[in-house]
């Protein structure tokens, strides 16, 4: 699990918990034990997408299933968390990669890291827009002005977005404001709503 990764859980339009996964799962598990049929979606704040967790059994088992095992320290190479995936490149790209020191994988990692360093604002804005859109589609699709809010999000029109969500349920509105914070290049102060 990435450090500083946060999650948010809702019961209807009410915030149940927000923060690190263990904190959110503890709150959701307590609610689940009282009402196993209740629906409490948990959202990954980085992506805005709902994430499923197996809530059966005692809390320590739920946390053990959800939280990755920490790498053991000791002799040998530490686990890097490498995920193998297929990459399609043209022959000229493979030729160039093969000429790079430490091989193709190391060269690709360096290219990705360099791009992340040189374009952090673009990446942050795109990620915030996608996360906000994911959350909106899951939790606000039936709320008034949903389509207009989405347009304002993609047009980077924060004042319009704030105006459109001003009558939404407080917890949904505040979470949208939190997610959308990184979507606008020049963040403006949030309009506090009771």
pLDDT at residue 8 tops 80 = yes
pLDDT at residue 167 tops 60 = yes
pLDDT at residue 80 tops 70 = no
Domains in the chain, number:
3
In this structure, are 12 and 56 located in the same domain? yes
State the average pLDDT over residues 22-46.
Answer: 94
Give pLDDT tens digits for 131-157.
999 999 999 999 999 999 999 999 989
Residue 84 lies in a domain: no
In this structure, are 164 and 127 located in the same domain? yes
Q: Of 140, 180, 174, whose CA–CA distance to 156 is shortest?
A: 180
Residue 119: the pLDDT is 63
The whole-angstrom separation of Cα 123 and Cα 173 is: 24
User: Which domain, by its residues, includes 167?
Assistant: 121-180
Give pLDDT tens digits for 83-126.
667 778 888 888 888 888 888 888 888 887 777 676 657 778 88
Residue 112 lies in a domain: yes
Please state the pTM of the whole predicted model: 0.71
79 — alpha (psi -120 to 50), left (phi > 0) or beta?
Answer: beta
In this structure, are 138 and 155 located in the same domain? yes
Residue 88: the pLDDT is 83
């Amino acid at each position: 699990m990435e450090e500083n990764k946060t999650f948010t859980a809702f019961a209807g339009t009410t915030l149940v918990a927000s923060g690190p996964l263990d904190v959110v799962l503890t709150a959701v598990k307590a609610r689940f034990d009282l009402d196993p049929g209740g629906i409490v979606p948990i959202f990954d704040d980085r992506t805005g997408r709902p994430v499923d967790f197996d809530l059966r059994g005692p809390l320590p088992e739920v946390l053990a299933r959800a939280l990755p095992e920490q790498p053991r320290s000791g002799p040998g190479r530490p686990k890097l968390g490498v995920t193998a995936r297929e990459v399609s490149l043209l022959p000229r790209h493979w030729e160039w990669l093969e000429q790079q020191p430490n091989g193709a994988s190391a060269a690709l990692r360096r290219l990705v890291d360099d791009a992340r360093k040189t374009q952090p604002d673009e990446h942050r804005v795109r990620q915030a827009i996608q996360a906000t859109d994911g959350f909106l589609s899951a939790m606000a699709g039936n709320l008034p002005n949903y389509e207009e809010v989405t347009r304002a999000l993609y047009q980077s029109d924060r004042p319009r977005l704030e105006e459109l969500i001003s009558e939404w349920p407080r917890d949904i509105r505040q979470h949208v404001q939190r997610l959308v914070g990184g979507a606008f290049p020049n963040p403006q102060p949030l309009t506090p709503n009771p």
